[in-house]
Amino acid sequence: MPELWETVAPETAPWDTWRSHPALQQPTYPDEAEVRAVTADLRSRPPLVFAGEVDDLRADLAAAGRGEAFVLTGGDCAETFVESTADHLRLKIQTLLQMAVVLTYGASLPVVKIGRIAGQYAKPRSSDMETRGEVVLPSYRGDAVNSHEFTAEARTPDPHRLMETYQHAAASLNLIRAFTKGGYADLRLVHHWNRGFTQNPAYSRYESLAEEIHRAVKFMEAAGADFDSLREVDLYSSHEALLLEYESAMTRIDSRTGDPYDTSGHFLWVGERTRDLDGAHIELLSRVRNPIGVKLGPGSSPQDVVALMDRLNPEGEPGRLTFITRMGAGRIRELLPPLLEAVKADGRPVTWTTDPMHGNTITSSTGYKTRSFETVMDEVRGFFEAHDQVGTVPGGIHVELTGDDVTEVIGGSEQLDESSLEERYETLVDPRLNHQQSLEMAFQVAELLR
Ligand code: TRP
Ligand code: MN
């Protein structure tokens, strides 16, 4: 009896106002009743992240906005359930720790470490349907929605995947907490994180830096310094807040303050495709206390940017709002300065980070969706130049990477060329920096920060 469901008031939570706003990029589930059953179940589950951690991250992001820290965000374009194994997660965490140490040491700045990890299972798509020959099926929207295999069954959106998303995120976060708080991230293991990676040019550079850090730590130890801060790291979890049913079902009221927090991750961002001011995504995120990111592509105007600040951070709370720009290497030097000027004139604080990946996707002559390391680095340099010109703060980078030795991005010190792409091209959506390209980027960004 579908009418019965219609008459039942959907949700009564204060953040459910998004339901009366246009919602783009949502899956069409065959059975609404199942969606309700799964989200009711999700609402009863323990939160994945905690309000105090989210508040700490907001403070860290505020520091990055002032130039007192630098944000490193990295991880998969799309996490998948089959790859949320201990090995894949460990290699990704190891890569992030190595990049963080290169940046911290190289730039003498605290690094705010954020993974696109433990929740990045949903993807916006340019088309609702995918056609292969005669067959038309729903597009793959990430493991949180459907399965990649091109069959009607696999591609039908399944709300039970929202519960699987929760479970994979929970298990991944558990592993992250063990790695970051249980001794593995101890700076005295700086050499150790390089083990198991194949020899490459970035490797020996890392080894000599690790040797310097090792000596510095030994020196401090000999001098009697206190080492508690060297033992652990905070690695925050982030993803694109795309699936509104999931994000709203994971929102909880913090008992200390009475404020709503989206407990599916510490940091949540809205993509370029879903950031319309009156849309459901902005509406939901305007109601939660988490630090929020918004992707800004080449079509963003200074007015858009100020309107987003009015909508998401009217009071100008430091650390609340991060803009993640993705302009393309060829255009960032022309397109970013006017946005920076507008925000500077407004006066409310924003943390600026660069996503140098998404504006620089190309198709290789061999038919692979790829990116060139040199072009990606050129966008990072353009980002620094634009901030330098306007007198604003380049607060961080946001990149797609994996700890595996894949061949998805061309260039870098190993000089991957188009013909290497076929060797280990594993991504289901966008091409990622591999382990050595990630390290290489950290070394180059550290130079820019000096
Ligand atoms: N806790 C400090 C930090 O997060 C130092 C630290 C310990 C560290 N282990 C690390 C830094 C691993 C980078 C990578 O900055
Ligand atoms: Mn991507």
What's CA 326's distance to the chain center, in Å?
Answer: 13
Site residues for ligand 1, CB cut-off 6 Å: 97, 100-101, 104, 110-111, 185, 187, 229-230, 232-233
Cβ atoms of residues 225 and 232 within 8 Å: no
Q: Strand ranges (DSSP E) for 304-405?
A: 321-325, 351-354, 362-363, 369-370, 394-400
Give the Cα separation of 241 and 253 in Å (integer): 18
Q: State mean pLDDT over 47-69.
A: 98
The model's confidence at residue 227, banded by pLDDT at 50, 70 and 90, is confident
**Could you tell me the distance, in angstroms and rounded to a whole number, from the CA of residue 368 to the centre of ligand 2?**
15
| DSSP-based three-state secondary structure for 217 | helix
Q: Which atom of ligand 1 is nearest to the CA of 186?
A: 9
Any bridge partners for residue 116, and if so which?
A: 75, 238
Task: Dump pLDDT digits (tens) for 353-405.
Answer: 999 999 999 999 999 999 999 999 999 999 999 999 999 999 999 999 999 99
What tokens does 342 get? 């507008």
Give helix 86-107 / helix 435-449 axis angle, nearest 10°.
20
Q: How far is CA 209 from CA 12, 113, 191, 412, in A?
A: 54, 19, 9, 19
**Could you tell me the distance, in angstroms and rounded to a whole number, from the CA of residue 430 to the centre of ligand 2?**
5
| DSSP-based three-state secondary structure for 143 | coil
Q: Which atom of ligand 1 is nearest to the CA of 111?
A: 15
> In the prediction, which pLDDT does 59 show?
98
What tokens does 128 get? 């609702």
**Could you tell me the distance, in angstroms and rounded to a whole number, from the CA of residue 400 to the centre of ligand 2?**
7
> In the prediction, which pLDDT does 7 show?
32
Q: Which atom of ligand 1 is nearest to the CA of 185?
A: 9
Give the Cα separation of 411 and 398 in Å (integer): 19
Task: Dump pLDDT digits (tens) for 260-299.
Answer: 999 999 999 999 999 999 999 999 999 999 999 999 999 9
Give the Cα separation of 331 and 271 in Å (integer): 19
Closest to 445 in 3D by CA, of 98, 121, 48: 98
The angle subtended at Cα 123 by Cα 119 and Cα 126, nearest 5°, is 170
Cβ atoms of residues 78 and 23 within 8 Å: no
> In the prediction, which pLDDT does 211 show?
92
- 311: phi > 0 → left, psi -120 to 50 → alpha, else beta; which? alpha
What tokens does 324 get? 């993640």
Mutate to test the pocket of ligand 1, among 60, 72, 101, 112 (most ligand atoms within 8 A of CB): 101
Judged by its nearest atom, the ligand closest to the C-alpha of residue 273 is 2
The model's confidence at residue 244, banded by pLDDT at 50, 70 and 90, is very high
Q: Which atom of ligand 1 is nearest to the CA of 110?
A: 15
Q: How far is CA 443 from CA 202, 205, 326, in A?
A: 9, 9, 21
Give the Cα separation of 119 and 30 in Å (integer): 24
> In the prediction, which pLDDT does 251 show?
97
Q: How far is CA 433 from CA 33, 59, 237, 406, 445, in A?
A: 41, 29, 19, 8, 15
Task: Dump pLDDT digits (tens) for 87-138.
Answer: 999 999 999 999 999 999 999 999 999 999 999 999 999 999 999 999 999 9
**Could you tell me the distance, in angstroms and rounded to a whole number, from the CA of residue 337 to the centre of ligand 2?**
24
Determine how many CB atoms are found less than 10 A away from the CB of residue 335: 21
Residue with the bigger pLDDT between 183 and 280: it is 280
Give the Cα separation of 91 and 51 in Å (integer): 28
Give helix 302-312 / helix 332-346 axis angle, nearest 10°.
50
The model's confidence at residue 11, banded by pLDDT at 50, 70 and 90, is low
Residue count of the chain: 450
> In the prediction, which pLDDT does 225 show?
86
**Could you tell me the distance, in angstroms and rounded to a whole number, from the CA of residue 429 to the centre of ligand 2?**
7
